[in-house]
Amino acid sequence: MLFFDLYEIYLSSSIASAAAPSLGGNTLSVSLMLSALYIGGLFGSIVLTRVADRKGRRAALLWGAVIYGVGAVVAALSPSMVVLIAARFVTGFGVGAVQPLVDTYCMETQKAHLRGRYLGVIYTIAGMAAPASFLLTYFGLRSTVFGAPAWRTLVFLGVVGPIVLLLARRHLPEAPRWAAEAGAAGAAAGSSAPRGSSLRELLSARWRRVTVSIATLNFFSSIVYYGFGTLAPLLLHARGYSVLSSFGYSAISFLGYPLGGLLGTLVVDRIDRKWVVVVGHALLAGAGALFAIGPNATVVVAGGFVYGLIANIVALGNHVYGAESFPALLRASGNGITYAFNKAGVTLMPLTLVPLLSVAGPGPVFTVVGACIVVIVVVVGLLGPRSAQSPVAQESVGSPVLVGGK
């Protein structure tokens, strides 16, 4: 499912460019279609992660898969931009909680010294969605499938993820740490299930600093990470490259993503995740500058490759850092609510950066991305907790951290 979550994200720009002409879309409808996936993801992240804290991680993943599959089918059959925008909202709702749920699940099923490595392998495999989506688009734009525009087939491929997960559901156990904590909490409350977290608890004196720093990281990193990923073809096109060349160069650049995921598995368990996040974002600024102002295609592709490589190392640090910063009974919804800021950032991105790109060109777009990097470095550097002091670290040594700091 994680592969298809990223597949949908990276496919957005390509589908918007390809579907708009055949469905009578304009600049506004393209922006709305790009945003619909992330608006749906924002609500899905909040709703399904609360389900995960009340009913279990497994139940939330399965419900999300079903909703995603329905959205993918409707999107592939859309007769108009209005229906396509609505279907992309449903798709986003279904996959919106996948990343925080996968992060949480790994935190609760793996040993402490293997969590970053295990999650890194998962995201490395999932990261292949970046070059795969662009390569499929690059070749798909040249043809039709059974007489229909190829973009419909690319969208329909999304149903593969839900089908595989549903067929394998018997082999997906519940996270043991959640089951143990939920059983204890339910027994204490006289109920069979815990009540989950609330925003009030996340903003209590005990967790306010953590919540603010992780929410800030998620909001601004969404623009840094996905701003490049989803707008790369549009940025290249704005610089004068053809549509097909833009997709081709983007696909080559994005080969850095899976390599970055592999390198991340060697880093995130050896260096405090806080500094992986802070230093990694600072390095992204240099790679982004190469992509934005490179004098020729070779420099542009090299800058994009390095950007993707560093971005996936940083992204892995972000995922582990966010999930490990909350205690067990707050973990899924705490991680999900703060991750909703990620979806909010990506929702605003096409509504702001796409018009900015059209009016002012690539330079100002990367200036905005650079400003987001500065905010992350300052806020996480000053407010973010160190991984060694995280609830997961305390749980690992036998000192459980409960809701409310009790």
Contacts 24+ apart (CB under 8 A), 109-118: 109/175, 109/176, 109/177, 112/392, 112/393, 112/396, 113/269, 114/269, 115/269, 115/320, 115/324, 115/392, 116/264, 116/265, 116/267, 116/268, 116/269, 116/273, 116/316, 116/320, 117/265, 117/268, 117/269
Query: pLDDT at position 405, please?
Result: 43
Share of the chain above pLDDT 70, in %: 79
CA separation, residue 257 to residues 47, 131, 218, 307, 349 (Å): 29, 8, 19, 8, 21
Whether the pLDDT of residue 394 is over 80: the answer is no
First to last CA, the chain: 35
Whether the pLDDT of residue 68 is over 90: the answer is yes
Q: Higher confidence at residue 128 or residue 228?
A: 128
Distance (Å, whole) CA 404 – CA 36 = 35
CB 172: neighbour CB atoms within 10 A?
A: 13
For the stretch 186-220, pLDDT in tens is: 544 455 555 555 677 888 888 889 999 999 999 99
pLDDT band for position 170 (cuts 50, 70, 90)? confident
Close Cβ partners of 23 (under 8 Å, ≥ 6 residues apart):
78, 79, 80, 81, 84
Query: pLDDT at position 127, please?
Result: 72
As beta bridge partners, residue 148 has: 145
Sorted by where each starts, the structural domains of the chain and their CATH numbers stand as 2-173+196-405 (1.20.1250.20)
Taking residues 115-138, report their average pLDDT.
78
Whether the pLDDT of residue 133 is over 70: the answer is yes
Q: What's the chain's average pLDDT? A: 79
For the stretch 97-116, pLDDT in tens is: 898 898 888 878 877 677 77
pLDDT band for position 14 (cuts 50, 70, 90)? confident
For the stretch 232-243, pLDDT in tens is: 666 666 666 665
Share of the chain above pLDDT 90, in %: 18
Q: Is 149 helix (H, G, I), strand (E, B) or coil?
A: strand
For the stretch 275-296, pLDDT in tens is: 999 999 989 888 877 776 667 7
For the stretch 334-374, pLDDT in tens is: 888 898 898 888 778 767 877 887 787 767 777 888 899 99
Whether the pLDDT of residue 81 is over 80: the answer is yes
Whether the pLDDT of residue 306 is over 90: the answer is no
Whether the pLDDT of residue 10 is over 80: the answer is no
Residue 48 identity: L
Cα torsion 98, 103, 104, 106: sign: positive
Query: pLDDT at position 301, please?
Result: 78
Close Cβ partners of 265 (under 8 Å, ≥ 6 residues apart):
116, 117, 120, 121, 124, 316
Query: pLDDT at position 391, please?
Result: 63
pLDDT band for position 154 (cuts 50, 70, 90)? confident
* 244, burial (CB in 10 Å: exposed 0-12, middle 13-18, buried 19+): middle
Which two three-digit tokens encode residue 149? 């525009």
Which two three-digit tokens encode residue 28? 């506004």
pLDDT band for position 392 (cuts 50, 70, 90)? low
